[in-house]
Structure 1
Amino acid sequence: MSRQPRPARDAFAVFRPIQTRWMDNDVYGHVNNVVYYSYFDTAVNGWYVDEGLLDVAASPVIGLVVETSCAYFESVAFPEGLEAGITVARLGTSSVTYAVGIFKAGAPAAAAAGRFTHVFVSRENSRPVPIPPEIRAALERLPITALPSTA
């Protein structure tokens, strides 16, 4: 099995701070692998909120996570500050796949990198809908970066 290359900062368009928490560490003294998926979700949805594209309680269209993957390159641990780099890996009609890198603050290469896919659905009935125009426009401002697969 070939291992994907460790992504550099310039592969990502937007960066968001992530603060590790005491509870993120596992018995081995580093952030547990499943916590990275929470970081992905927090970074992407935080970007949507900051861009004015998501009202968590009332938006009529929401993104549901349908797939995630992650490759790990370097351990991180509480109390380190991290940065999540985000860009678009694929933009479809009703879905978007983001490439996300988790970096130690200021580090040139990702400690972990993965993919995170949202399918946009009606909040009312959870049926897929086209990506709303204002969300599509914001996503199109991010460069599409085809990072290697983490599978």
Structure 2
Amino acid sequence: MSRPAPPSRAEFRYFLPITTRWMDNDAYGHVNNVVYYSWIDTAVNRFLLDHRLLEIGTSPTVGIVAETGCRYLSQIAYPDEVTVGLAVAKLGRSSVRYAVAIFRADDEQASAEGHFVHVYVDRATMRPVPIPDHVRAEMEKIHASG
């Protein structure tokens, strides 16, 4: 069974540069898998913060992580510079699925690809609610089909 080609930078709309740290490497000499998940979470939340879509302590509606996944394609190791690419893959009524890719240095092909699903909930009740219109509008700007 053949694997799909790695995603390219052209498939993403928002980018966040990240510097690897010495402690990111594991005993095998490459960045440990849990660090990739941290980078993905950081990129999604930076997108929300950079676009004023989230006030961490006070937003009445917040995105709760419902699902994440990552496929590792090639190694990254300290002191590599990385860039996380982000696009909206699916925008539902109360949920959003982000497509995420992690690029090493200036590589055009991703070293890892993943997904991240937020379900929007009312902060007080923790029950699903529609994605607020102003949030949806910004998400549509980075929609993969847009």
**1:58-85 C-alpha deviation (Å, 9 max, x unpaired):** 1111111111111111111122111000
Where does 1:58-137 land on structure 2 (aligned, <5 Å)? 58-137=58-137
- TM-score, with length taken from structure 1: 0.91
Taking only the aligned residue pairs, the percentage that are identical comes to 52
Alpha-carbon distance between aligned partners in 2 of 1:110 and 1:42, rounded to the nearest angstrom: 17
- TM-score, with length taken from structure 2: 0.94
Alpha-carbon distance between aligned partners in 2 of 1:140 and 1:66, rounded to the nearest angstrom: 20
**1:45-70 C-alpha deviation (Å, 9 max, x unpaired):** 00110101111111111111111111
Could you tell me which amino acid in structure 1 is paired with residue 117 of structure 2? T
Q: CA deviation at 1:144?
A: 2.4
Alpha-carbon distance between aligned partners in 2 of 1:28 and 1:3, rounded to the nearest angstrom: 24
Q: 2:12 touches 2:144 (CA, 8 Å); kept in 1? A: no
Equivalent position of 1:9 in the other structure: 9
**1:78-131 C-alpha deviation (Å, 9 max, x unpaired):** 221110000011100000000000001221110000111000111112111100
Secondary structure at the aligned position of 1:77 is classed as coil
Q: CA deviation at 1:143?
A: 2.8
Q: CA deviation at 1:25?
A: 1.0
Consecutive aligned runs of 4 or more in structure 1 exceeding 4 Å deviation: none
Equivalent position of 1:41 in the other structure: 41
Secondary structure at the aligned position of 1:23 is classed as helix
Which one is further off, 22-31 or 108-117?
22-31
RMSD between aligned alpha carbons? 1.2
Secondary structure at the aligned position of 1:99 is classed as strand
Secondary structure at the aligned position of 2:107 is classed as coil
Q: Unpaired segments of 5 or more residues in structure 2?
A: none
Q: Unpaired segments of 5 or more residues in structure 1?
A: 146-151
